[in-house]
Amino acid sequence: MMIQSVVVFSFLFVAAYASVQDFCVADLSLPDTPSGFPCKDAKKLSVADFVYSGLGAAGNTTNLIKAAVTPAFTAQFPGVNGLGISIARLDLAVGGVIPFHTHPGGSELLVVIQGTICAGFISSANTVYFKTLNKGDIMLFPQGLLHFQINSGKGPALAFVSFSSPSPGLQITDFALFANNLPTELVVATTFLDAATVKKLKGVLGGSG
């Protein structure tokens, strides 16, 4: 009787199995869809598909902004595909800054692990919300709004930032405006900057035109 019951249960599980979408680990070799990438075959998955060690080491902060963002989005960690969540590691050397940027596709929740970070965002109503955060503090940056993070302490700072999307996107305003070939005259016309400032920033950030 026990064997029988196991057989019946097994049938039940087999029947239900193919229709279950507990998770959908991205097959990055296939084209994306509006809801995310197609799923890898569940039978070929192991725990390695759900664990990622790429955030364990500090990012390289030897750069202009003295900061590094190390993402675990779908492209780096295919397990988050379809689950509505992702995470990134934020390293800020002394004086490090993440310049004003937005995430078009998700809200952000930052937790300070080490150091002191001055962070802020600006609402559609043009109101500024900013504060100095210490170890253990968390702060929200609602979807699509301009925000920044600055290491305001005397040592390096470390934070983890979670997102309400597996692919929140990242648009750094200065790079969007100055690090491509958008013609200077269009940048001038659509900001309140003069041509000299635009050309200088294009030079600094690698843009042309």
Q: Which residues within the stretch 149-188 sit at the binding site for a second copy (CB under 8 A)?
A: 150, 160, 162-167, 169-182, 186
* Exposed/middle/buried for residue 148 (C-beta within 10 Å: 0-12, 13-18, 19+): middle
Residues 6+ apart with CB under 8 A from 22: 42
The distance of closest approach from Cβ of residue 65 to a second copy in the complex, given in angstroms and rounded to an integer, is 7
76 binds a second copy (CB under 8 A): yes
Q: How many residues does the chain have?
A: 209
The verdict on 123 binding a second copy (CB under 8 A) reads: yes
User: In the structure encoding, which two tokens stand for residue 3, read together?
Assistant: 């064997």
**Token digits for 107?**
């809200």
Chosen residue from 44, 71, 91, 195 binding a second copy by CB under 8 A? 71
Of positions 91, 93, 94, 133, contacts a second copy by CB under 8 A: 133
Among 79, 91, 116, 184, binds a second copy (CB under 8 A): 79
* Using rule CB under 8 A, residue 38 touches a second copy: yes
Is 84 annotated in a binding site? The answer is no
Q: Which is nearer to a second copy, 19 or 154 (CB)?
A: 19
103 annotated to bind ligand: yes
Question: According to CB under 8 A, which one of 94, 131, 155, 195 is a site residue for a second copy?
Answer: 131
Q: Which residues 6+ apart lie within 8 Å of 200 measured at CB?
A: none
- The structure tokens listed for 69 are 């963002």
DSSP category for residue 36: B
Which residue shows structure tokens 């929200």?
Answer: 140
Please check if 135 is assigned to a binding site. Answer: no
Distance CA 172, CA 14 (A): 48
Q: In angstroms, give the least distance from the CB of 127 to a second copy.
A: 7
Residue ranges for the known binding site for oxalate are 103, 108
